[in-house]
């Protein structure tokens, strides 16, 4: 495990082996709550195509402000809201998440949505997590205001409300308005915490566009993720026959 950052305490169950010896959800926090103490697990869902500093900063801020013991990033296997474009292979998105969170001892990545196969629905993920963790672990689903706005369209949104607390966070261009709060109330009897996130106007779409046009993504994601994008040639336009090397992550 990476060395703990200055001024931080070790997460409750970091590095502990799963009861059966085999991690089911994630390596670092599989036994969270096994000691009977109350714990809060943050869940950061997304396509992460690619993961960027907006995702990471929101998760860290939620961990600190909402008293989360750990945050697990769960890349969607087959995101139903992104059928309009070709999503990068799950293995690459998962690996980029791994590279991005490795140095934070409070973060981990889970492949449960990818492993499950088929279309990805949040309700299935939360049911799986609820079945895995004891009842003293509160599940806290972190989501940006843009995603929250579509919450009424989520499959079994009312059931989701019974499975997890919702941590709704602001995103540049997407404030948490009264209308958003009404939409959440309409979707189910949610326990909601609202968080004013540090405004970082960054998106995966923008990173993809930058790489495709040969512009820099330095500082917009972790250096290791940038290197991975470059090595794998992700997001670069496919060169025409006879053309030189395509754009790469700079």
Residues near ligand ATP, by CB under 6 A: 46-49, 54-55, 58, 143-144, 146-147, 169, 171, 197, 200, 202-205
d(CA 70, CA 76): 19
State the minimum distance, in angstroms, from the CB of residue 48 to ligand ATP. Answer: 5
What are the φ and ψ backbone dihedral angles of 74, each rounded to 5 degrees? -125, 95
Q: CA nearest 225: which of 103, 97, 47?
A: 97
State the minimum distance, in angstroms, from the CB of residue 44 to ligand ATP. Answer: 7
Please, which residues bridge with residue 139 across strands? Answer: 41
Cβ proximity to ligand ATP, 10 vs 209, nearer residue: 209
Cβ proximity to ligand ATP, 34 vs 166, nearer residue: 166
The residue nearest ligand ATP at its CB is 144
State the minimum distance, in angstroms, from the CB of residue 120 to ligand ATP. Answer: 12
Cβ proximity to ligand ATP, 33 vs 46, nearer residue: 46
d(CA 184, CA 112): 26
State the minimum distance, in angstroms, from the CB of residue 151 to ligand ATP. Answer: 11
Cβ proximity to ligand ATP, 140 vs 197, nearer residue: 197
State the minimum distance, in angstroms, from the CB of residue 113 to ligand ATP. Answer: 12
Q: Is the dihedral of CA 94, 99, 100, 101 positive or negative?
A: positive
Note whether 160 and 141 are within 8 A (CB). yes
State the minimum distance, in angstroms, from the CB of residue 79 to ligand ATP. Answer: 8
**CA of residue 86 relative to chain centroid, distance:** 19
Cβ proximity to ligand ATP, 86 vs 131, nearer residue: 86
DSSP letter, residue 139: E
d(CA 45, CA 116): 15
Note whether 107 and 70 are within 8 A (CB). yes
Cβ proximity to ligand ATP, 41 vs 58, nearer residue: 58
State the minimum distance, in angstroms, from the CB of residue 202 to ligand ATP. Answer: 5
The SS3 call for residue 194 is strand
Cβ proximity to ligand ATP, 34 vs 220, nearer residue: 220
Q: Where are the alpha helices (DSSP H) in the chain?
A: 53-65, 90-101, 112-116, 122-132, 145-148, 157-163, 178-187, 204-212, 223-232
């Amino acid at each position: 495990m990476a060395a703990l950052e200055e001024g931080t305490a070790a997460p409750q169950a970091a590095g502990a082996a799963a009861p059966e010896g085999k991690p089911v959800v994630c390596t670092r926090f599989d036994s969270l709550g096994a000691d009977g103490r109350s714990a809060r697990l943050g869940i950061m869902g997304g396509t992460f195509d690619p993961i960027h500093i907006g995702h990471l900063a929101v998760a860290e801020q939620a961990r600190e402000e909402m008293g989360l013991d750990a945050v697990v990033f769960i890349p969607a296997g087959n995101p139903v809201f992104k059928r309009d474009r070709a999503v990068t292979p799950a293995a690459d998105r998962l690996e980029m998440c791994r590279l991005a969170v490795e140095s934070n001892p409070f973060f981990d990545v889970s492949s449960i949505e990818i492993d499950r196969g088929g279309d990805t629905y949040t309700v299935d993920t939360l049911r799986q997590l609820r079945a895995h963790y004891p009842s003293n672990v509160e599940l806290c689903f972190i989501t940006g205001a843009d995603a929250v706005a579509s919450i009424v369209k989520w499959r079994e949104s009312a059931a989701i409300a019974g499975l997890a607390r919702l941590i709704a966070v602001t995103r540049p261009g997407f404030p948490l308005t009264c209308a958003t709060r009404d939409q959440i109330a309409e979707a189910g009897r949610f326990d909601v915490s609202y968080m004013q996130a540090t405004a970082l106007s960054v998106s995966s779409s923008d990173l993809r566009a930058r790489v495709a046009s040969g512009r820099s993504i330095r500082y917009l994601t972790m250096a290791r993720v940038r290197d991975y994008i470059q090595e794998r040639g992700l997001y670069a336009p496919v060169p025409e026959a006879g053309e030189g090397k395509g754009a790469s992550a700079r």
